[in-house]
Chains A and B, each alone.
Chain A
């Protein structure tokens, strides 16, 4: 059972003299979810080259994390990678794609533009200052653009969030957004310590409430009424 104990933490536990299977359905579901995260690539700018093309290519190999199945369809996606600036005209489309995704759904905002508007923050008539004005964000990956390693750091942070996070009894209650900044000279134990510190802080967010409070919901409705829903 040693192999299984490594692969299924919190489901199979070692006790002196053997192993015991503990029935923890939450842990099992979260284990399954976090190891087959399928991305929806929402690349609007140069971050998309780093995040969605370089990381998906064999050299960096996103499939090591079980997240290589980029099907370009929100119906099959578990998390959305917003890589690049979002403008006012794009925001309702982004929101609509987010709402088409099946729950549980996660959002990673990569790069300065997706986090805050980046260099276009001031004196811009069209930029949305941070994708979190449109959809709830789970993990921020800073950088301009972030390196592929930084993106993996963010993805692993999301996996930790899923492992520590939701339960069947309290769906959609999650930890607050995590800023996954990749420091210099990082070691695996530092990584574990940092993520534990971030996740153990007293912060939770109700994703449904956060999503419903956005002014962009109105804009989506207007946009859908104008462009799509024609009786």
Chain B
């Protein structure tokens, strides 16, 4: 399935989704409350069959007061890629987990929680992955500061 057809197929599957402009591959954005249902549908729909979550990460759009969560999907059956994004407000970054759909999301969501502070609803074991347990804050946020950091000299 080529890029535009893939976008249309996903939007037909979930009418709340919209095409994401500025992407190097087929990309859609969905509201966070539709994410879990769409993830399940993308995996189980035979024509799409996105059975592998390649990557999950987050972008801190601090000027727009939101986090954008990025899910990069791949189908080992059809060999096509899809990027699914969803935006959550910076003040209350809560999204449903997709670790029930793709088990690899279990650790990837722990990493994003550790470094960006996204809260995943119904995640079975949401602990820090890289940093120590007593670490305060989430260092990849654009406004993160601590005593150890040294700013660039003027």
> Which A positions have Cβ atoms within 8 angstroms of B?
88-89, 121-126, 129
Contacts and interface: CB of A to CB of B under 8 A. Distances in A.
A89 B151 CA distance: 21
B139 A89 contact: no
A125 B150 contact: no
The secondary-structure label for the interface of chain A is loop
A207 to B, nearest CB: 26
B150 A123 contact: yes
Nearest to B149: A125
Given A89-B131, A89-B132, A122 B150 contact: yes
A124 B152 CA distance: 10
Contacts of B130: 89
B143 interface: no
Given A89-B131, A89-B132, A129 B144 contact: no
A102 B98 CA distance: 51
21 contacts: A88-B132, A88-B148, A89-B130, A89-B132, A121-B150, A122-B150, A122-B151, A122-B152, A123-B149, A123-B150, A123-B151, A123-B152, A124-B149, A124-B150, A125-B139, A125-B144, A125-B146, A125-B148, A125-B149, A126-B131, A126-B139
Contacts of A123: 149-152
Interface of B: 130-132, 139, 144, 146, 148-153
Contacts of B149: 123-125
Given A89-B132, A122-B150, 14 more contacts: A88-B132, A88-B148, A89-B130, A121-B150, A122-B151, A122-B152, A123-B150, A123-B151, A124-B149, A124-B150, A125-B144, A125-B148, A125-B149, A126-B139
Nearest to B139: A125
A64 B130 CA distance: 40
Contacts of B144: 125
A125 B130 CA distance: 13
A89 B130 CA distance: 9
Contacts of B146: 125
Contacts of B139: 125-126
B145 to A, nearest CB: 9
Contact of B150 (A88, A89, A126, A129): A129
Contacts of B132: 88-89
Contacts of A129: 150
A95 to B, nearest CB: 15
Nearest to A124: B149
B73 to A, nearest CB: 30
Contacts of B153: 122
Kindly name the residue among B132, B146, B150, B152 whose own CB sees the greatest number of chain A CB atoms within 10 A.
B150
A123 B139 CA distance: 10
Contacts of A125: 139, 144, 146, 148-149
A121 B151 CA distance: 9
A124 B149 CA distance: 6
Nearest to B115: A125
A189 B24 CA distance: 59
A117 to B, nearest CB: 9
Contacts of B151: 122-123
A44 to B, nearest CB: 15
Contacts of B131: 89, 126
A154 B132 CA distance: 35
A142 B121 CA distance: 49
Kindly name the residue among B130, B148, B151, B153 whose own CB sees the greatest number of chain A CB atoms within 10 A.
B148
